[in-house]
Every structure is written in structure tokens, then in C-alpha cells.
């Protein structure tokens, strides 16, 4: 960030925080859980236009976020660019927005992502988009779950302007890189949604992890038993099997690349 960008951002933070305390009774819970340095992906529910600035301020550090490309026009576009927003297309290929997300994380920044992809219609938690979770996982950054409550009541999707209503932002426990990489994308998606649903009090939306459903659990147990049995195979036979698997994987990847 340039010297001007830092000054502009800090002035905006002071003004926005002060007005939000007065207008919305803004309160932060467990902001000490936010990593103060290094890359981190902040995953949050999306209730209102108020979410990005209010969640970002609570991190205590510059927080970057995606916004739809149609917002980057005129004075408002200039304004949000100086607040670390970057465009993503909702109608065309969003690959540029994804690349920019990974780039900023590589620069050790904090990036805010809304897995629902859009503001809630009624204030409740919506479905998570698998692609966004995949980006968070690919970045190999820790993930910080976060919830904002009251923002929908303060500025619902159908309203032109906000009105006074108490808003609370709560930060959850950081999910380490090791924990993230140990999960499948399907399990990570459900795990994060469960955490946010629990923090919101929407316990009816909590689901079992895909790997723990009866069918998948049986498959996992069968695989585990097979692995245990394979340990009894001689070392030379194991090496032969490993070599065969490696060759098959290499051939598959080669075909996939060619396609």
C-alpha cells in the first residue's frame, strides 16, 4: 500500500468505526483470535453491504475482499479500490478474481471471502459454493471463520438505505493449515458451514461430514482394513504395488493434461 492508501484507509477506519458504534451499537467478540500478521482467509456469512467494512475493521489489519465488477465505477469504484477491494465478474469467467485472491494471499495479506457468493435474501445462512472453499484450500492459508449478526436487519437486501440496529461481529477459532489439508474439500466445506451455523445459532443447518455418513464411513473402514492387511505383505511386494500405483497415477495425470 502507498502512503496515501494507508492514510486513506486509516481515516476511513476511524470514521466508519465511530459512526458504526453510534448508529449500530457495533460490538466485536473475540477479535483477539485474528492473526495479526501472515496470510489468512476470513470466511463469513453475508447479510448486507455493511459486512465487508465492519468485518474488516474488526481484524485490526488491512483486509482485502472481492466485490462484483459492476461496483468499480466512478467515485465509489475509486473509493473501494483504496479500501483493498478488487473486482470479480459474476457473469463472465471469474478466473481473474480467483488469481487476484491467491496473489494477495501470497503477499501475506488477510482476505475476506463470502462462501455464499451473494447477500442473503432473508438474513439466514445460505448454501456455500464449493469453488470458493477450493480457493481457500489451495492458498494453504489458515482459515478464520467469522459471523456478522444484525447487519441484515440494519440494511436488508431490498432496502435502499441502512437504519439503526445493533450489529455484532464474532470471530471463531482459526483452522490451521495442517487441519485444512487433512480434510477433503467436501468435509472442509461442511465443517466451515457447521462452524458458522453454530455461531449464528442456526443449529438446524449443522450436517454430518460427508466422510462420516454411513455409506462413506463403511467405505473408509473397508479401506482402513485393506491398508492394515497390506502391511502384512512383504516389503518387495509392497514396493511393486506402490510402483504400479505411481505409474497409473502418472498416466492418468498425463492424459488429463493432454485433454
For the segment 9-48, what is each residue's pLDDT rounded down to a tens digit?
999 999 999 999 999 999 999 999 999 999 999 999 999 9
pLDDT tens, position by position, 170-201: 999 999 999 999 999 999 999 999 999 999 99
Residue 119, pLDDT score = 93
Q: What angle do CA 90, 95, 101 make, to 5 degrees?
A: 95
Q: How many residues does the chain have?
A: 259
Q: Give the span between the Cα atoms of 112 and 146, in whole angstroms.
A: 10
Q: Tell me the whole-structure pTM to 2 decimals.
A: 0.80
φ and ψ of 171, to 5 deg: -105, 135
Encode pLDDT of 81-92 as tens digits. 999 999 988 777
Here the cell at position 107 is 503477499
Domain ranges of the chain: 3-210, 213-258
Q: Measure CA 60 to chain center.
A: 18
Q: Is 89 left (phi over 0), alpha (psi -120 to 50) or beta?
A: beta
**204: helix, strand or coil:** helix
Task: Give the distance from CA 172 to its chain's centroid.
Answer: 13
41 three-class SS? strand
pLDDT at 224: 46
Q: Are strands 40-44 and 110-113 parallel, antiparallel or unpaired?
A: parallel
Please enumerate in sequence order all residues whose Cβ is within 8 A of that of 249, keeping only pairs 6 or more positions apart, or say none: none
pLDDT score at 109: 97
Tell me the per-residue pLDDT of 137-160, one tens digit each, with 9 for 90 and over: 889 999 999 999 999 999 999 999
Contacts 24+ apart (CB under 8 A), 152-155: 152/47, 152/48, 152/120, 152/122, 152/123, 153/123, 154/24, 154/48, 154/50, 155/48, 155/49, 155/50
**pLDDT at residue 230 above 90?**
no
**Superfamily of domain covering 3-210:** Glycerol-3-phosphate (1)-acyltransferase (3.40.1130.10)
Backbone angles phi, psi at 3, to 5 degrees: -60, -40
In angstroms, the CA 126 to CA 129 distance is: 10
Q: Where are the alpha helices (DSSP H) in the chain?
A: 3-24, 51-58, 74-81, 95-106, 130-138, 151-154, 177-181, 185-200, 214-230, 235-258
Amino acid at each position: 500500500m502507498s502512503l496515501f492508501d494507508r492514510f486513506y484507509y486509516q481515516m476511513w477506519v476511524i470514521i466508519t468505526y465511530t459512526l458504526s458504534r453510534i448508529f449500530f451499537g457495533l460490538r466485536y467478540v473475540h477479535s483477539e483470535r485474528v492473526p495479526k500478521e501472515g496470510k489468512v482467509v476470513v470466511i463469513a456469512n453475508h447479510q448486507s453491504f455493511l459486512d465487508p467494512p465492519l468485518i474488516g475493521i474488526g481484524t485490526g489489519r488491512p483486509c482485502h475482499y472481492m466485490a462484483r465488477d459492476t461496483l468499480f465505477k466512478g467515485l465509489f469504484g475509486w473509493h473501494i479500490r483504496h479500501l483493498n477491494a478488487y473486482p470479480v465478474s459474476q457473469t463472465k469467467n471469474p478466473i481473474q478474481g480467483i488469481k487476484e485472491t491467491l496473489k494477495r494471499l501470497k503477499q501475506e495479506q488477510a482476505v475476506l471471502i463470502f462462501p455464499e457468493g451473494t447477500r442473503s435474501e432473508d438474513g439466514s445462512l445460505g448454501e456455500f459454493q464449493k469453488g470458493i472453499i477450493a480457493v481457500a484450500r489451495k492458498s494453504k492459508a489458515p482459515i478464520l471463520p467469522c459471523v456478522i449478526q444484525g447487519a441484515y436487519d440494519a440494511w436488508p437486501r431490498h432496502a435502499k438505505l441502512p437504519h439503526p440496529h445493533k450489529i455484532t461481529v464474532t470471530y471463531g477459532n482459526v483452522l490451521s493449515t495442517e487441519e485444512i489439508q487433512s480434510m477433503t474439500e467436501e468435509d472442509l466445506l461442511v465443517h466451515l458451514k457447521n462452524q458458522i451455523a453454530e455461531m449464528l445459532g442456526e443449529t438446524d443447518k449443522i450436517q454430518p461430514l460427508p466422510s462420516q455418513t454411513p455409506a462413506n464411513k463403511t467405505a473408509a473402514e473397508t479401506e482402513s482394513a485393506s491398508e492394515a492387511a497390506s502391511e502384512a505383505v512383504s516389503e518387495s511386494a509392497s514396493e511393486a504395488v506402490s510402483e504400479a500405483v505411481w505409474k497409473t497415477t502418472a498416466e492418468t495425470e498425463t492424459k488429463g493434461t493432454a485433454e
